[in-house]
Structures are given as structure tokens and as C-alpha cells.
């Protein structure tokens, strides 16, 4: 099954980043906060949104930093995705 976002929506998947404390302890996934770095899986076409023309700046494969609790989470075929507006993306990680 594929996800095709509409308008200015972007489908992302969390990037697993191993976190280590300053003292060298590796944190498990249950001890971590919600991830903020995502990989873009699909991008909507942009266009007219709320009376304004929206140009899409992100593309599939980009790694992005999103607002902490932005978007909606969905689970499809056992994989968790977040669907959010492009305006909820704070930066592209290069």
C-alpha cells in the first residue's frame, strides 16, 4: 500500500538515531523522547492552500527536523508514518 499526500502534506518516517548520554550510556527507545528527525517518504503537489499558493521545498529522501508533536501518526503495513504540513517542518538536514 502506498500513501499519496494531498496539497501541502508530507509523509515522513522517523529516523532511528542512537542516543548516548554524556557519560556514555546508550538510551533505549523507551527512554527517548519522540524523534524529531524524519526521512521524507512522499510529498504532496502543493498548490492553493487556504487561499495562498504553496510551493513544495522538500523532496522524497530529504532528512528533516519537524516540530515535536506536529502531524498525525498512522501505521500502515507495520510501519509508522507521520503526515504533516510542510509548514511544520523546521529545517532540512544536509
Segment 13-35 mean pLDDT: 68
pLDDT given at position 16 = 75
Buried-state track 5-24, b at ≥16 Cβ within 10 A, e below 16: beebbbbbebeeeeeeeeee
DSSP label at residue 86: G
Residue percentage of the chain with pLDDT more than 90: 62
Does pLDDT of 33 surpass 80?
A: no
pLDDT given at position 35 = 62
With bands split at pLDDT 50, 70 and 90, how would you rate the model's confidence at 36?
Answer: confident
Closest CA to 65 of 42, 86, 44, 43: 86
Amino acid at each position: 500500500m502506498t500513501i499519496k499526500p494531498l496539497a501541502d502534506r508530507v509523509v515522513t518516517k522517523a529516523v532511528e538515531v542512537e542516543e548516548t548520554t554524556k557519560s556514555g550510556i546508550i538510551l533505549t527507545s523507551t527512554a527517548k523522547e519522540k524523534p524529531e528527525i524524519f526521512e521524507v517518504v512522499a510529498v504532496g503537489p502543493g498548490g492553493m492552500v487556504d487561499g495562498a499558493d504553496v510551493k513544495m521545498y522538500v523532496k522524497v529522501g530529504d532528512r528533516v527536523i519537524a516540530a515535536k508533536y506536529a502531524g498525525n501518526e498512522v501505521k500502515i503495513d507495520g510501519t509508522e508514518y507521520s503526515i504533516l504540513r510542510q509548514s511544520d517542518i523546521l529545517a532540512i538536514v544536509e
